[in-house]
Structure 1
């Protein structure tokens, strides 16, 4: 089992994701960094696309990344049914690749938002939602879908994270994370890799990385 962290020029949080993965049980030889020139990801069992300002968010966030060589490899990987998690700018890239529905606009007040927010986690629709304290940092964080797509997201339980106390960016229905219908592609704007210890304000990000670890190691 190996996990890939896909980075582009401008990616910023890959090292934080690595440290988060190591802290929940992965080993260093199970995690590798791959860049935008990568053409195959077949050897990996799961991939992360971290946040940042990829290609300086030229045109719009994720628009340039979708024509990089690794983009085709990410699409092929998604078709294999293996898990892909995009965080922040990674979420925006996944929408540009049409692996997740919707798109992003500038925040409602046209300013970058930073700091901790409270989100409601609903990965398992059969269990009560959990409340997590996670950080955000983005300018283009207003998630948008049309009414038909919104109803489909609700019908197929694809909304997995929502802003619980206030909507900091104007996202439709306060959505902060979604998955595809197959359930293997996940995007979220909060950054759980920055909330792995009480020393930084919250350790609630550990919950999400532990879920990923258990998913990847079950049956081994």
Structure 2
């Protein structure tokens, strides 16, 4: 399990806070961003609160991967879809921020219609890190068995592993969209994306050996 997941202790603390009366407002509001990063234990411990919240409260679970949540979680929620923001709106936003046109187009492309991600990428350090790790991913197919295992060990100790996998997921989806007309390459990319999503999900939910999980992933490439 990597850093950044939402564990049972965090959910228990939230449940406790929701059980208390609000000091000023009429209702309490809880927002769980990236709710798909809740562990199975955390999700199961949250079921009763979702079904019968104590007091006056509203709970928002924000996720781009609702399929990664337990059916017992989603069945207790009302779904509200947030659609992707158009390229034109995002470009105008960056223009107002005085961002260079060429850089703006690149940021909009990799953000894939998500304004929150776009704002994150305005930090140049994050953009350069993304490019660094994507270059690393491109090299993997050409690495020897030993080099792949060494890379898996190195990444298993990297506290930014979650962010690295997100960079890779975004990149593969971006390439997949560009190559939709090439069926043969599309199928290979879909398989690769599926393996990458499974790795991300496993590391989010379970206390697995990171090194072994990464070994298995890299050997499939």
Q: TM-score, normalised by structure 1?
A: 0.23
Indicate the structure with greater helix content.
2
Indicate the structure with greater strand content.
1
Q: TM-score, normalised by structure 2?
A: 0.23
The structure whose Rg is larger is 2
Q: Looking at both structures, which has the greater relative contact order when contacts are Cα pairs under 8 Å and sequence separation is at least 6?
A: 2
